[in-house]
Amino acid sequence: MTVPETAALEGTGGFEGNHDFAQLNTAGQWLRVGKAILLSSAYGIALGIGATQSHVLGLAVAVPLTFATSIAVAIPSLYVVLAMLEAPMSLGSLLNAASDAYRHSAITLGGLAPTLLLFSTSITEPHWVNFLGTCGLLLAATLGAYRLISATRIALAKEQSYLKLRHWAILIAFVGLSFQLAARFWSFAHSAFGGVS
């Protein structure tokens, strides 16, 4: 393990399986999740103003719910598979990594929201607004997935190489699954709230 990774483990308390689910239930964790929800909702509002106008609040709910749905479905299943492979990672540690990944995705969305709002109020064609909005969601999801993979890699750093390869394959497969789930849910939510699918 490199020096930066060791420092990261020490700074976060480590991902070595010593955490339990109670760690997630701290005020700081919930505060960060709440801020992430607000940031991703702001992105939905910016998208709704230009794309649908009459369903702004609906898209403000749909954006954070899309990320939450994919995490809620994929993460427990990922934990079960990693546990079957005897990976040294507790459910609490995996949930912490997932919440941190969502927080980074939401920060990206919050940063993109003013730009999307500028374009959405100047472009008259809703299809282009939807295209730009979807690109922003994809970028945020990709950065969140990278964060999740990085945190999990630290947790599995002490495994033997052949087990690490199996863990990597499972992790990447479940990231792909979460992307597919998010895409399906977003397509449904976007259509339901008056967007153009």
Tell me the average pLDDT across 134-159: 84
Q: Which domain holds residue 141?
A: 29-192
Q: Is 4 inside a domain boundary?
A: no
Query: Counting Cβ atoms within 10 Å, is residue 47 exposed (0-12), middle (13-18) or buried (19+)?
Result: buried
Decide if 11 is inside a domain. no
Helix spans in 14-90 (H): 27-51, 56-84
Residue pLDDT, tens place only, 80-108: 888 887 777 778 888 888 888 999 999 99
Domain membership of residue 81 (yes or no) is yes
Residues 6+ apart with CB under 8 A from 10: none
Q: Is residue 131 part of a domain?
A: yes
- Measured from the Cβ of residue 181, the count of other Cβ atoms closer than 10 Å reads 17
CA distance 39 to 31: 12
> Based on C-alpha coordinates, what's the Rg of the chain?
18
**To the nearest whole number, what is the mean pLDDT of the chain?**
77
6 belongs to a structural domain: no
Count structural domains, the chain. Answer: 1
Q: What predicted TM-score, i.e. pTM, was given to this entire model?
A: 0.74
- Give 117-126 pLDDT, tens digit per residue: 888 778 777 7
